[in-house]
Structure 1
Amino acid sequence: MSERLSWVVAKYGGTSVSSSDALQRLVERVTLSRQEDDHILIVVSALSGVSNLLESVCETPDKVVIDDIVEQLKSRHIDYCESLNLGQTSQQKIIKLLQNLSDWYGMLKTEAHSSFFATQAKIMALGEFLSSTIVHDFVSTQLDEPVQLIDSTQWLTSSAAENSSIGDQYLNAYCKVDSSDEFAKELAKEGRVVVAQGFIASNSCGETVLLGRGGSDTSAAYFATLARARRLEIWTDVPGMFSANPRSIPAARQLLNLDYREAQEIASTGAKVLHPRCLRPARQAQIPVFVGSATTPEQGGTLIGDVQQAEPQVKAISVREGVLLVAMETSDMWQTPGFLAEAFSIFYRHGLSIDQVSTSETNVTVTLDNLTQGISSSRIELLVAELSQLCRVEIKRNCAAVSIVGREVRTLLSQLSTAFDAFQNRSVHMLTQAANNLNFTFVIEQNDVQQIVQKLHDALISDNQSSSQLGATWSEITGKHTELFQEAFSKSWWAKNVCQLEQLVDAGPCFAYSRQKITDQISSLKSLKSVDRIFYAMKANSFPDILQLVEAEGLGFECVSIAEVDFVFSLFPEIQPSRILFTPNFAPRSEYERALELGVNLTLDNLYPLKQWGEL
Structure 2
Amino acid sequence: MNHKIAKFGGTSLANFEAMSRCADIVLSSQSTRIVVVSASSGVTNLLVSLSTGSLSATQRNDAIAKISGIQSAIATHLELSSQQLSLIDDLLEKVGDIATSIARLNVGEEQVRTQLTDQLLACGEQLSSTLFTQVLIERGVNAHWLDVRDVMRTSSDFGKATVCIDTVAQLASERMTPLLEKQVIVTQGFIGCDTQGNTTTLGRGGSDYSAALLGEATHCSQIDIWTDVTGIFTTDPRITAQAYALEEISFNEAAEMATFGAKVLHPSTLIPAMRCNIPVFVGSSRAPESGGTIVRNETESKPVYRAIALRREQTLLTVTSMDMLHAPGFLARVFTILAKYNLSVDLVTTSEVSVAITLDNTGSNSGGNSQISQVMLDELEEVCQVTIEKDLALVALIGNAIDTSYGVGTRLFATLHDVNVRMICQGASSHNLCFLVEERQATDVISRLHHAMFEQNARGVA
Please confirm whether the aligned pair reaches a TM-score higher than 0.5, indicating the same fold. Answer: yes
Deviation at 1:341, TM superposition (A): 1.2
Deviation at 1:124, TM superposition (A): 1.8
8 Å contact from structure 2 (residues 208, 269) kept in 1: yes
Deviation at 1:152, TM superposition (A): 1.6
Q: 1:463 to 1:360 in 2, by over 3 A?
A: same
User: Counterparts of 1:130-279 in structure 2 under 5 Å?
Assistant: 130-145=127-142, 147-159=143-155, 169-177=157-165, 180=169, 183-184=172-173, 186-190=175-179, 192-279=183-270
Aligned with 1:103 (options 77, 97, 100): 97
User: What secondary structure is seen at the aligned counterpart in 1 of 2:34?
Assistant: strand
User: What secondary structure is seen at the aligned counterpart in 1 of 2:433?
Assistant: strand
8 Å contact from structure 1 (residues 122, 208) kept in 2: yes
Aligned with 2:276 (options 281, 285, 294): 285
Q: 1:149 to 1:370 in 2, by over 3 A?
A: farther
CA distance in 1, matches of 2:378, 2:187: 43
Alignment partner, residue 64 of structure 2? 70
101-110 vs 80-89, greater mean Cα deviation: 80-89
Aligned with 1:380 (options 372, 375, 389): 372
CA distance in 2, matches of 1:311, 1:73: 46
Deviations 1:437-464 (A, max 9, x none): 1111111111111111111011111133
Q: 1:399 to 1:203 in 2, by over 3 A?
A: farther
CA distance in 2, matches of 1:206, 1:346: 36
8 Å contact from structure 1 (residues 240, 301) kept in 2: yes
Aligned with 2:291 (options 278, 289, 300): 300
8 Å contact from structure 1 (residues 172, 373) kept in 2: no
CA distance in 2, matches of 1:62, 1:363: 46
| Structure 2 residue 88 is matched with structure 1 residue 94 | yes
Aligned with 1:410 (options 403, 414, 421): 403
| Structure 2 residue 388 is matched with structure 1 residue 400 | no
Higher RCO, 1 or 2 (CA under 8 Å, sep at least 6)?
2
User: Counterparts of 1:9-28 in structure 2 under 5 Å?
Assistant: 9-28=5-24
Aligned with 1:41 (options 18, 34, 37): 34
Q: 1:298 to 1:345 in 2, by over 3 A?
A: same
8 Å contact from structure 2 (residues 361, 371) kept in 1: no
Higher radius of gyration, 1 or 2: 1
Deviation at 1:144, TM superposition (A): 4.5
Q: 1:116 to 1:334 in 2, by over 3 A?
A: farther
Q: Percent identity?
A: 32
Alignment partner, residue 451 of structure 1? 444
CA distance in 2, matches of 1:177, 1:30: 27
Deviations 1:127-168 (A, max 9, x none): 2112112111222211242x11112222112247xxxxxxxx
Q: 1:466 to 1:78 in 2, by over 3 A?
A: closer
CA distance in 2, matches of 1:380, 1:85: 53
Alignment partner, residue 118 of structure 1? 115
Deviation at 1:337, TM superposition (A): 1.7
8 Å contact from structure 1 (residues 94, 130) kept in 2: yes
User: Counterparts of 1:452-491 in structure 2 under 5 Å?
Assistant: 452-465=445-458
Deviation at 1:245, TM superposition (A): 0.7
Deviation at 1:117, TM superposition (A): 1.2
CA distance in 2, matches of 1:271, 1:311: 19
8 Å contact from structure 1 (residues 81, 90) kept in 2: no
CA distance in 2, matches of 1:19, 1:317: 33
Q: 1:144 to 1:238 in 2, by over 3 A?
A: closer
CA distance in 2, matches of 1:216, 1:182: 19
User: What secondary structure is seen at the aligned counterpart in 2 of 1:380?
Assistant: coil
User: Counterparts of 1:547-566 in structure 2 under 5 Å?
Assistant: none
User: Counterparts of 1:550-589 in structure 2 under 5 Å?
Assistant: none
Q: 1:309 to 1:55 in 2, by over 3 A?
A: same
Deviation at 1:270, TM superposition (A): 1.2
CA distance in 1, matches of 2:224, 2:198: 28
Q: 1:207 to 1:226 in 2, by over 3 A?
A: same
Q: 1:193 to 1:144 in 2, by over 3 A?
A: closer
8 Å contact from structure 2 (residues 232, 264) kept in 1: yes
RMSD: 2.6
8 Å contact from structure 1 (residues 327, 363) kept in 2: yes
8 Å contact from structure 2 (residues 37, 188) kept in 1: yes
User: What secondary structure is seen at the aligned counterpart in 2 of 1:241?
Assistant: coil
CA distance in 2, matches of 1:220, 1:455: 36
| Structure 1 gap segments, 5+ residues each | 161-168, 471-616
User: What secondary structure is seen at the aligned counterpart in 1 of 2:158?
Assistant: helix
Aligned with 1:314 (options 305, 317, 341): 305
Q: 1:349 to 1:317 in 2, by over 3 A?
A: same
8 Å contact from structure 1 (residues 20, 84) kept in 2: no
94-103 vs 286-295, greater mean Cα deviation: 94-103
Deviations 1:59-83 (A, max 9, x none): 3625672222222211221122124
Aligned with 1:391 (options 377, 384, 387): 384
294-303 vs 325-334, greater mean Cα deviation: 325-334
Letter in 1 for 2:349: S
Letter in 2 for 1:42: V
Q: 1:87 to 1:155 in 2, by over 3 A?
A: closer
| Structure 2 gap segments, 5+ residues each | none
What TM-score, normalized by structure 1, do the two folds share? 0.69
Letter in 1 for 2:39: A
Deviations 1:311-335 (A, max 9, x none): 5520001101122322223333333
Q: 1:262 to 1:176 in 2, by over 3 A?
A: farther
CA distance in 2, matches of 1:423, 1:150: 52
Deviations 1:217-236 (A, max 9, x none): 10100010001011100000
User: What secondary structure is seen at the aligned counterpart in 1 of 2:386?
Assistant: strand
8 Å contact from structure 1 (residues 212, 372) kept in 2: no
What TM-score, normalized by structure 2, do the two folds share? 0.90
User: Counterparts of 1:464-543 in structure 2 under 5 Å?
Assistant: 464-465=457-458
Deviation at 1:85, TM superposition (A): 6.0
Letter in 1 for 2:147: D
Deviation at 1:400, TM superposition (A): 1.1
Alignment partner, residue 439 of structure 1? 432
Letter in 1 for 2:144: Q
Deviation at 1:434, TM superposition (A): 4.7
User: What secondary structure is seen at the aligned counterpart in 2 of 1:61?
Assistant: coil
